[in-house]
Amino acid sequence: MLLAEPNTSVTALPELFEIEAFMAAEQAKDLLRISTAGSVDDGKSTLIGRLLHDARGAYEDQLRSVRRDNGAIDFALLTDGLRAEREQGITIDVAYRYFATPRRKFILADTPGHVQYTRNMATGASTADLAIILADAYRGFTAQSRRHAYIAALLGIRHIVIAVNKMDLVDFDQDVFDRIRAEFAPVLDRLGVRDPYFLPVSALMGDNIVEPSARMPWFDGPALLEHLETVDAGNQRVEAFRMPVQRVSRPDASVIENMWFRGYAGQIVSGSVRVGDEIASAASGMTTRVKRIITFDGDLGEARAPMSVTLTLEDEIDISRGDMLSPGDEALRTVNAFEANLVWFNARALDPARDYLLKHTTQTVAAYIEKIQTRVNMETLESDLPLTADPAATLSNTVLKMNDIGRVSIRTALPLYVDPYRSAGGFNRATGSFILIDRETNATVAGGMIL
């Protein structure tokens, strides 16, 4: 009887090791975040549904729920789950889907194409490493496709795939694909997009999604999935340490062993920090050293983005929510007036006479627009301000309306601790961006990138 228990545990060990090896291999895979964009009915949801199906990233119960009466699969319904989306055949909200292949893990964001929901597209693209912008082979590129490309470029998405969809509607004609590529390549070049990947596909038929298409032998590039698996997933985010303070942790002083504990909790948004590193408070400019890095699983010697941690410091300095921790030898920029690129989301136009709330990292402060510098014309990608010498006409046109993109001057009631969205080291997505909130409705009316 004494030997039975060891024998039982020995037979279970190989299975345990297999599971641990599998989990270790999954953890070692890198992650690519993808967003889709394009006009209404370009086939974004169908493309993602086909990709999930053919790459075996959809579960059986999901496939059963989207089968039609004749047994065919409606691929768009794998991401369009809202009743209104299924009734109208459009995407309204951002839908996120996760899947993995032997090479890589993916998070897919299916974003709306409707002009009314451009704000949702910007939200889905704000964390993406790669954007798939669709064009209808029959209709060609639209102003909305151009707007989505502009937003993707503003957000600093490194990799752009132009998927010319519905090639089956044009008999897989190479001339149609070449014409669309020749039309849109100069636009992307003006936006600073380098090496975009143009790909002819039929999401409905599955051509060039997972396997190369036999019906388009004239195209010799990799299919979409192979491109997604092999594209460089490295980002251009900066490595300078930044941690906005979200909360000061001060346990009940009646607990004797913790009565002297004071920790500063937040998410590291860029770079890394080690025990013993010198760090500075942006609010006071005072420096100290990291004493402990505390997590739910215990203390660490080093932590890096995007981990959430609590830091304790060697010196007692005044730090509160909204402060920013950075390297001690680096002077963080403190401003209460700056210029920014602004994407306006709200149906109510920007009114320079009104003040708004500006949320940047863990700070929310009052702000107002001092001046609208420029507004982008989506047809020409040029500024269309000033428009006219007529003061009345100029006043009516120098506002940003829903889906407009412009450059503005902003002033805040309290100082912010910021980085430019674009810098020599890459993109500061956390410390270089912000949102504007309507004080009356509490609606998010705009997203901005600090210049």
What is residue 235's predicted lDDT score, i.e. its pLDDT?
56
The answer to whether 380 touches 387, Cβ cutoff 8 Å, is no
Q: Is the pLDDT of residue 75 over 60?
A: no
What pLDDT score was predicted for residue 70?
57
CB atoms within 10 A of CB 299: 12
pLDDT at residue 94 is higher than 50: yes
Q: What b-and-e string marks burial along 158-189, b requiring 16 or more CB atoms within 10 Å of the CB?
A: bbbbbbbbbbbebebeeebbeebbeebeebbe
Those residues whose C-beta lies under 8 Å from the C-beta of residue 240, and which sit 6 or more positions away, are 270, 271, 326, 327, 330, 419, 425
Q: At what angle do helices 143-154 and 174-190 cross, to 10 degrees?
A: 40
Q: Any idea which fold 333-450 has?
A: Elongation Factor Tu (Ef-tu); domain 3 (2.40.30)
Report how far residue 266's alpha carbon sits from residue 243's, in angstroms, rounded to the nearest whole number.
Answer: 6
Average pLDDT, rounded, for the chain: 82
- Percent pLDDT > 70 in the chain is 79
pLDDT of residue 130: 93
Give the pLDDT mean for 409-430. Answer: 89
Q: 130-136 and 159-165 as β-strands: parallel, antiparallel, unpaired?
A: parallel
**72 or 352, which is more confident?**
352
With b meaning 16 or more CB within 10 Å and e meaning fewer, what string describes 345-380?
Answer: bbeeebeeeeebbbbbbbbebebbbeebbbbbebee
User: Using CB atoms within 10 A of its CB, is residue 326 exposed (0-12), middle (13-18) or buried (19+)?
Assistant: buried
Question: Is residue 441 pLDDT above 70, yes or no?
Answer: yes
* pLDDT at position 394 over 60: no
Burial tier of 99 (Cβ tally within 10 Å: 0-12, 13-18, 19+): middle
Over residues 227-278, the pLDDT tens digits come to 999 998 765 566 789 999 999 988 765 454 556 788 999 999 999 999 999 9
The model's confidence at residue 389, banded by pLDDT at 50, 70 and 90, is: very low
pLDDT at res. 68: 61
Average pLDDT rounded to a whole number, residues 17-31: 71
Domain made up of 26-230: CATH architecture: 3-Layer(aba) Sandwich (3.40)
| Mean of pLDDT values over 102-126 | 78
Q: What is the dihedral of CA 88, 133, 223, 74, to 10 degrees?
A: 0
How open is the CA angle 320-422-267, to the nearest 5 degrees? 30
Residue 3 has pLDDT above 80, yes or no: no
pLDDT digit string, tens, across residues 400-414: 888 888 999 999 999
C-alpha 246/C-alpha 363 separation (Å) is 9
CATH 3.40.50.300 region(s) of the chain? 26-230
Report CA-CA distances (Å) from 12 to 23, 92, 163. 17, 49, 48
Please say whether the beta carbons of 36 and 132 come within 8 A.
yes
CA dist 179 and 442 (Å) reads 45
Which of 71-85, 96-110, 301-315 is the least confident region?
Answer: 71-85
Between 10 and 439, where is the model more confident? 439
Q: What is the mean pLDDT of residues 29-58?
A: 79
* Cα 440 to Cα 451: distance, rounded to the nearest angstrom: 27
Q: Is the pLDDT of residue 322 over 80?
A: yes
Please report, for residues 72, 103, 169, 205, 303, the alpha-carbon distance to residue 46 in angstroms, rounded to integers and kept in the order given: 13, 23, 15, 10, 40
Model pTM score: 0.80
Which residues have a Cβ under 8 Å from the Cβ of 267 and sit 6 or more positions away? 243, 244, 246, 305, 306, 307, 308, 309
Alpha-carbon distance of 156 to 122, in angstroms, equals 12
Look up the CATH number of domain 243-327: 2.40.30.10
Q: CA-to-CA distance for 133 and 146, rounded, in angstroms?
A: 9
Compute the half-sphere exposure of residue 108: CA atoms within 13 Å on the CB side of its CA.
25
- Span 118-129, average pLDDT: 81
pLDDT value for 351 = 86
Q: Where in the chain is the domain with CATH 2.40.30.10?
A: 243-327, 333-450
**Is pLDDT at 7 greater than 60 in this prediction?**
no
